[in-house]
């Protein structure tokens, strides 16, 4: 309530500029006058190395005018000060007067976010005088893009990275492998992309009904593609310059139909049947560790996603190798077969200086290493259980944060996977479960993530339509300072205009026909 009253009073004093801030800052005080951007300026900064380069590019984009030379007297000063320990990680302090802009932060990311706030405040080359102290609620503020069900160009991904950064999101999770196509070049196993990166049908349902067939690149009508390691390193570097971490996902042990079509001996039948890798086959682990070594060489992320969801376990129950493993390890439940492979991959990643993260099924049938993270998608229970076990958690319950769900009445919308998650539902959801509030386990909720699965999403315009503006609700929730939904909606309408001016396709909130009824995540 205090934040809401403070913001309402602030809105009255700042006028139209306040409508443009998203996410809202923690504290803000309005000043008098404006700082004009259409003039020569002097940049004073103690940032060094790559951070200095990245930030200078952002300042130049904001100012739209050159720095002063020795011969030209500056008419404005921009001061960027890195002060380790001076504020919360990724937080910043911003002060704008008529002749000076000052940003102070403990990290370069904080400086970057201060500049994004300036970009949002700017109108007609002027920034209102103001003082802001700001920092995020969560350390993980993410978006996942499914590149397997449908393939997305490198340029499309970079475009979305720009939007993520503008709204202070800091994690891009790429779902790179699934039954519909293997999308990452693995130099040791070129067959993966040679044989399963393309398929004869773009439509997902038709592809399934047609027997899940793949084809070679160049086949008439072939659809698909993959990212070379060079492509992915370029994406990682682009994201890094916007303080976004790229998390790769290699899906195991389920969702692996494509792998077993290439290496049939990794299936329980030896014929490529089913969707789950044969856990009783030691060759499976050789394959996976080989793949993960190359993934680690491409992605500097300290966190590697291994999937772990929706294993059918059907063939494990009658596979001689899996039954042998079951008996040798004195297992009492089939889920322990999944637990065995998850535990071994967890140990491998730990030994290689990385942390494993997976969907909440990774909690089943094993004891995870202390550093393993859990992404809770089947409601809140996985997140509650994991945090109470002192595992760090990213909340991503499908009922609220799956962006492949309908956002209005289905008959008015393009095809979606199902569900109903309009903007208000996404915005008003509190990702910290009531059971955890005020307990020690609450501190293990690292953040939240919106996920765009793409079974029903074939085009870039459709993908953006599903992302925006719901991703803005996730961004403000992740940053932490929230207003009423009515106020948020007004700011979203302003941001939709901005996004369209930059070439993004948004769901038109002005045409929303349905109203949301409260429901829980459970």
Q: Would you tell me how many other CB atoms lie within 10 Å of the CB of residue 30?
A: 17
* Cβ proximity of 120 and 21 under 8 Å: yes
Task: Supply angle C-alpha 212, 278, 341, rounded to 5.
Answer: 120
In angstroms, rounded to a whole number, what is the distance separating the alpha carbons of residues 356 and 304?
5
Task: Supply angle C-alpha 170, 172, 178, rounded to 5.
Answer: 160
User: Given the structure tokens 């939240």, which residue do they identify?
Assistant: 448
- The crossing angle, in degrees rounded to 10, of helices 460-467 and 154-166 is 20
- 310 is annotated as an active-site residue: yes
In angstroms, rounded to a whole number, what is the distance separating the alpha carbons of residues 451 and 403?
6
CA-based Rg of the chain, rounded to a whole angstrom? 24
Say which residues have a Cβ less than 8 Å from residue 12's Cβ, sequence separation at least 6: none
In angstroms, rounded to a whole number, what is the distance separating the alpha carbons of residues 145 and 162?
14
DSSP 266: G
In angstroms, rounded to a whole number, what is the distance separating the alpha carbons of residues 386 and 374?
7
In angstroms, rounded to a whole number, what is the distance separating the alpha carbons of residues 127 and 119?
9
Of the candidates 468, 497, 472, 498, the one whose C-alpha atom is nearest the C-alpha of residue 485 is 472
First to last CA, the chain: 26
Q: Going along 21-138, which residue ranges are E strands?
A: 27-36, 42-45, 77-82, 92-96, 100-105, 126-134
Quick one: tokens of 290?
Answer: 């080989």
* Cβ proximity of 258 and 180 under 8 Å: yes
In angstroms, rounded to a whole number, what is the distance separating the alpha carbons of residues 444 and 211?
43
Exactly one of 310, 435, 458, 512 is catalytic; name it.
310
| 3-state secondary structure labels for all residues of 277-317 | CCCCCHHHHHHHHHHHHHHHHHCCCCEEEEECCCCCCCHHH
Of the candidates 472, 440, 308, 434, the one whose C-alpha atom is nearest the C-alpha of residue 376 is 308
Quick one: tokens of 342?
Answer: 């998850």
Beta partners for residue 357, in sequence order: 305, 373
Active-site residues, by number, are: 310
């Amino acid at each position: 309530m205090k934040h809401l009253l403070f913001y309402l009073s602030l809105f009255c004093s700042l006028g139209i500029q306040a409508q443009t801030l998203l996410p809202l800052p923690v504290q803000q005080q309005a000043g008098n006058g404006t700082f004009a951007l259409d003039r020569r300026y002097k940049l004073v900064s103690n940032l060094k190395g790559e951070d200095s380069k990245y930030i200078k590019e952002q300042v130049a984009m904001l100012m739209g005018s050159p720095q002063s030379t020795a011969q030209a007297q500056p008419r404005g000063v921009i001061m960027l000060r890195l002060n380790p320990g001076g504020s919360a990680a990724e937080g910043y302090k911003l002060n704008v007067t008529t002749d000076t802009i000052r940003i102070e932060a403990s990290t370069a990311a904080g400086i970057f976010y201060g500049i994004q706030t300036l970009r949002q405040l700017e109108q007609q080359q002027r920034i209102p005088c103001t003082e802001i102290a700001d920092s995020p609620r969560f350390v993980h503020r993410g978006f996942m893009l499914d590149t397997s069900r449908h393939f997305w160009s490198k340029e499309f991904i970079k475009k979305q990275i720009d939007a993520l950064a503008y709204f202070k999101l800091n994690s891009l999770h790429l779902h790179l492998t699934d039954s519909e196509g293997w999308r990452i070049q693995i130099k040791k196993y070129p067959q993966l992309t040679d044989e399963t990166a393309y398929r004869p049908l773009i439509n997902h349902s038709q592809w399934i009904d047609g027997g899940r067939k793949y084809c070679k690149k160049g086949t008439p009508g072939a659809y698909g593609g993959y990212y070379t390691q060079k492509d992915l390193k370029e994406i990682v570097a682009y994201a890094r310059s916007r303080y976004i971490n790229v998390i790769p996902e290699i899906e195991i042990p389920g969702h692996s139909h494509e792998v077993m079509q290439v290496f049939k001996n990794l299936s329980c039948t030896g014929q490529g049947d089913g969707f789950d890798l044969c856990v009783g086959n030691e060759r499976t682990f050789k394959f996976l560790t080989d793949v993960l070594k190359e993934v680690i060489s491409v992605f500097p992320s300290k966190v590697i996603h291994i999937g772990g969801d929706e294993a059918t376990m059907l063939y494990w129950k009658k596979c001689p190798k899996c039954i042998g493993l079951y008996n040798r390890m004195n297992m009492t439940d089939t889920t322990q077969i999944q637990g065995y492979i998850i535990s071994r991959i967890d140990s491998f990643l730990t030994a290689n200086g990385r942390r494993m993260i997976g969907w909440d099924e990774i909690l089943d049938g094993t004891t995870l290493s202390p550093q393993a993270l859990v992404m809770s998608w089947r409601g809140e229970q996985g997140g509650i259980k994991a945090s109470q076990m002192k595992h760090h958690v990213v909340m991503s319950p499908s009922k609220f944060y799956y962006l492949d769900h309908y956002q209005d009445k289905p008959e008015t919308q393009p095809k979606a996977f199902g569900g109903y998650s309009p903007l208000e539902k996404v915005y008003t959801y509190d990702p910290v479960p009531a059971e955890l509030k005020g307990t020690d386990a609450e501190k293990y909720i690292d953040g939240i993530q919106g996920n765009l699965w793409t079974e029903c999403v074939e085009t870039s315009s459709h993908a953006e339509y599903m992302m925006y503006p719901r991703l803005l609700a996730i961004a403000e929730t992740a940053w932490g300072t929230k207003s009423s939904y009515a106020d948020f909606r007004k700011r979203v309408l302003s941001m939709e205009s901005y996004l369209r001016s930059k070439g993004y396709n948004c769901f038109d909130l002005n045409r929303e026909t349905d109203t949301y009824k409260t429901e829980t995540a459970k």
